[in-house]
Structure 1
Amino acid sequence: MNISKLIMDSLSGLLVAFIGFVIGKSWDFLKLKIHIYAGQWFWYPQKAKPIIQGKIFLFLGERGGLLTAEGEFEPLVHLEDAQSVIKLKGFLENYYKEIIVTTNDSLINWDYPVISIGGPVSNSITRNVEGHGFYPLRFLGTPYKGDAKRAIGSDDGADFFSPRHDENGSLVEDVAYIVRMKSPHNPKNILLIFAGCYGRGTYGAIDYILSTNNINMVKRTCGPDFFQLVVRTSISSSKSIKNVLVYHSEIP
């Protein structure tokens, strides 16, 4: 047995493995940087300086929950809205030094960018902004009562998007809108809204915009300013989701 050759072959194998590892890690790092750079225009106010700096407020609404021992309803956050916050917060750490999550809109400082998560049923910011007609589509038929059918559309009916349920009543498709607009409280900053008919649509809208390909396409289609998008989310039996952009419109 040629010991020297065996050692050289082993070292060569280790070197090849090491080079492959380094290249793999470098490629993963490069993809992450491309992903972060691609989304910077969306998550930052216009002409903001590069990362990581400043703060952003992430607001999600609450709904009536279970009775407390004192006989009062304890507000609860939708599970899927909470999952959306967890997913989004981790991504925003690539841009912002401080991310403040709150369910109390009185704690929001509008001197900073704000993200509103959830539809008008539970989210007061989404509900209040909708009432001023800043963008073309809104939630139709609100406030919802009982088993009312939910939908997003225009008042004239020209655009209409609604969730879909199967024969057992299970949700198989949801719709949500994404809005990037000037903050109504501070036009120098941005307000981002992710609002679905149900929580699954809200989660799907966030998942959609976190894709590098999708956010680049939105920039080409709508420009880097202000717009409204509608995303349809399909839910399979395995609970995996597929998100498709079905509407886009620039807004002033």
Structure 2
Amino acid sequence: MSPAESRRPALARRLRALREEQWPELGITQAQIAHAIGGSRPLSISLISSWENAEKPIAPPVRRLDAYATLFATPRSVNGETVRVLPLDQLTDEERDRHDELLGELLSLRDGRDRAAEPVPDIWSFPENEDVTIVCAQLPTEYRQHLTYADPDSADFVSLYTYADPDALIELFGHIRSVNPQHQVSFHTTAELTPDDYTTHLVLLGGVDWNTVTRDVIERVDLPVEQVVRADEAPTSEPGGFRVRRDGGSELFPPQLDSEGHLLEDVAHFYRGVSPFNRKRTVTVCNGMYGRGTLGAVRALTDVKFRDRNSGFVRDRFGGAKSFSIISRVQVVAGKGLTPDWTVADNRLHEWPEAA
């Protein structure tokens, strides 16, 4: 019997104790838990019973334990006969701390190790002696032709003015260099890449409309997500979005703009997988429908206020998966894109692989 299996009876007893002993005066039933945890698709009472059965324990998926932790983090989850799981962003700081503590305990009982004591690995940390190449699109000619600093014939030429997504590039290059001080970390436009660059760890910034390497990679990997490019910059044009294929159909997640074309909410896509050009290296795509989405995909795992919790979410949600994808909202306030918090369910529009 593995260490995890030996501890699952304790998890079953703990789940039962939460229901019966956390707020004994409320008399919470398995049926109420089934409705609360299942949300719009209530679970069966027999499934809840199996999770509480210490004789033949069945371990709930991580996302169900997350729901348990949220529910029992606050008595506000119970209102009369109604038991519900509040959105994480509605919890107070004290309740959020209780959620994190309880989730760590339940995951420890499920997996046989103390998750809370484990350091959260930085997703931008790469093995020694493995180079990293960040790839940006070149700003199209029509956007550069009136910029003196983007003209190679000008004495004032600055090459960075020819790059698309320079804010995302600066943010990510600095972070990767700081996490991997002994590595060779370089950045190039798509036109500057050499054959050797393709076989390093690739980090691709921007979408398929301008970044041709992003397009080449997405076409070569098994991913149910495709980018629908914007028609043009006119406020009345279709804004495009990220289309997800599922169950024989598809769903489009577009950015949100007002009637005058001001961006209210962008959509970010983060993908990490095995490189199609070198199976011993990775490829990472940080993409958005607009620049603030691309920056949001980057800052989700570089912003000091969010990177640990988002990295923890990736660890707990995807485990050791070699490939995964998250599409998330990027709120825009006063023209600034805000870092997405992936632990807030409403911020996550789609996750792949699908949760069990």
1:167 Cα deviation from its structure 2 partner = 2.9
**1:31-110 equivalences in 2 (<5 Å):** 38-40=120-122, 42-44=123-125, 48=127, 53-64=129-140, 65-67=143-145, 76-78=162-164, 81-93=165-177, 94-96=179-181, 97-103=183-189, 104=191, 106-107=193-194, 109-110=197-198
1:189 Cα deviation from its structure 2 partner = 0.5
Residue 121 (structure 1) aligns with: 209
Q: Does residue 214 of the first structure (1) align with residue 310 of the second (2)?
A: yes
CA distance in 2, matches of 1:216, 1:43: 13
1:68 Cα deviation from its structure 2 partner = 6.9
**1:227-238 equivalences in 2 (<5 Å):** 227-237=324-334
2:242 aligns with one of 145, 152, 164: 152
> Could you say if the C-alpha distance between residues 56 and 135 of structure 1 is closer, same or farther in structure 2, counting changes exceeding 3 Å?
same
> Could you say if the C-alpha distance between residues 238 and 117 of structure 1 is closer, same or farther in structure 2, counting changes exceeding 3 Å?
closer
User: Partner of 1:127: helix, strand, or coil?
Assistant: helix
Q: Structure 2: which 5+ runs fail to align?
A: 1-118, 153-160, 341-346
Residue 165 (structure 1) aligns with: 257
Q: How many residues align?
A: 205
Measured against aligned partners, the alpha-carbon deviations of 1:87-145 in whole angstroms (never above 9, x if no partner) come to 111111212522101003532523321100001111011112223352111112x4845
1:236 Cα deviation from its structure 2 partner = 0.8
User: Partner of 2:162: helix, strand, or coil?
Assistant: coil
Assess if the C-alpha contact under 8 Å between 1:59 and 1:105 holds in 2: no
Residue 239 (structure 1) aligns with: 336
Measured against aligned partners, the alpha-carbon deviations of 1:38-57 in whole angstroms (never above 9, x if no partner) come to 343x2346xx35xxx54210
Assess if the C-alpha contact under 8 Å between 2:226 and 2:243 holds in 1: yes
1:247 Cα deviation from its structure 2 partner = 1.7
User: Partner of 1:212: helix, strand, or coil?
Assistant: helix
CA distance in 2, matches of 1:125, 1:154: 20
CA distance in 2, matches of 1:189, 1:214: 23
CA distance in 2, matches of 1:90, 1:134: 30
**1:164-183 equivalences in 2 (<5 Å):** 164-183=256-275
CA distance in 2, matches of 1:175, 1:38: 26
1:226 Cα deviation from its structure 2 partner = 1.2
Q: Structure 1: which 5+ runs fail to align?
A: 1-36
CA distance in 1, matches of 2:145, 2:335: 33
Assess if the C-alpha contact under 8 Å between 1:235 and 1:242 holds in 2: no
CA distance in 1, matches of 2:262, 2:232: 19
Assess if the C-alpha contact under 8 Å between 1:105 and 1:125 holds in 2: no
Which one has the bigger helix percentage?
A: 2
What is the percentage of aligned positions where both structures have the same residue?
21
> Could you say if the C-alpha distance between residues 136 and 82 of structure 1 is closer, same or farther in structure 2, counting changes exceeding 3 Å?
same
> Could you say if the C-alpha distance between residues 227 and 241 of structure 1 is closer, same or farther in structure 2, counting changes exceeding 3 Å?
same
Measured against aligned partners, the alpha-carbon deviations of 1:11-56 in whole angstroms (never above 9, x if no partner) come to xxxxxxxxxxxxxxxxxxxxxxxxxx6343x2346xx35xxx5421
1:59 Cα deviation from its structure 2 partner = 0.5
1:200 Cα deviation from its structure 2 partner = 0.6
Higher relative contact order (CA 8 A, sep 6+): 1
| One-letter amino acid of the counterpart of residue 145, structure 2 | L
